[in-house]
Amino acid sequence: MSKIFRISILFFIFASFIYAKGGFPKSYYDIKSTKMKKMVFFNTLVPLIKKQNEQILKDREFIEQFFKTGVLNTKRDGIAMLKMIKLKKYYKVKKLYDYDSYMKKINIIPTSIILAQAALESGWGNSRFTKEANNIFGHWTYGQLKWCIQTSKKLERKNYKKQQTA
């Protein structure tokens, strides 16, 4: 899998996280000073990025520990298996026991890269998409939720049917 694709997935995760948190405060758009606006931009995003990177590291650590203790451990508790299944879906890993795929997909992105990308794609938070749809990273999400859910369900059914016939 290409590095660009992996980074795109992680940007999407960050974008979803920031979108869920409500984005920039309304007072942000009243700031006239460019210097102050950039400072608020960074101060708003950095804690969110750090929090998401911490979660990604926890997920990675869980995967490493899961495989370290033995994949075929029959005494493995159900909670760990449920978490594995959840992480498999979340990070779009094809096979549940594919350690290398998890390690390729579950990794942090440096804060500086995320901030630079966010600033570039959102015009320092001033783009119409950022203001109207809280869209910092260029992922179109505003008004498309119903379509995304329907498409996701269709893909799940299709994949389920493939697994049943295999």
**Does residue 127 surpass a pLDDT of 70?**
yes
Residue 20 is predicted with a pLDDT of: 45
Share of the chain above pLDDT 70, in %: 64
Long-range contacts of 46-53 (CB under 8 A, 24+ apart): 46/111, 46/115, 48/14, 48/17, 48/18, 48/21, 49/14, 49/111, 49/114, 49/115, 50/111, 51/17, 52/13, 52/14, 52/17, 53/108, 53/109, 53/111
* Residue 115 and residue 49 in contact, taking contact as beta carbons nearer than 8 Å: yes
**Does residue 128 surpass a pLDDT of 50?**
yes
The larger pLDDT score, comparing residue 155 to residue 109, is at 109
Q: What is the pLDDT of residues 65-85, one digit of tens each?
A: 988 886 656 556 778 888 999
**Does residue 17 surpass a pLDDT of 50?**
no
SS3 at position 5: helix
Task: Report, in angstroms and rounded to the nearest whole number, the Rg of the chain calculated over CA atoms.
Answer: 19
- pTM of the predicted model over 0.85: no
Q: How far apart are the first and last CA of the chain?
A: 24
**Does residue 144 surpass a pLDDT of 50?**
no
**Does residue 87 surpass a pLDDT of 90?**
yes
Residue 58 is predicted with a pLDDT of: 95
Dist. CA 17–CA 12, nearest whole Å: 8
* Residue 14 and residue 108 in contact, taking contact as beta carbons nearer than 8 Å: no
Indicate the pLDDT class of residue 44, thresholds 50, 70 and 90. Answer: confident
Residues of 4-34 as b/e, b for ≥16 C-beta within 10 angstroms?
A: eebeeebbebbbeebbeeebbeeebeebeee
Residue 106 is predicted with a pLDDT of: 92
**Does residue 56 surpass a pLDDT of 90?**
yes
Residue 78 is predicted with a pLDDT of: 79
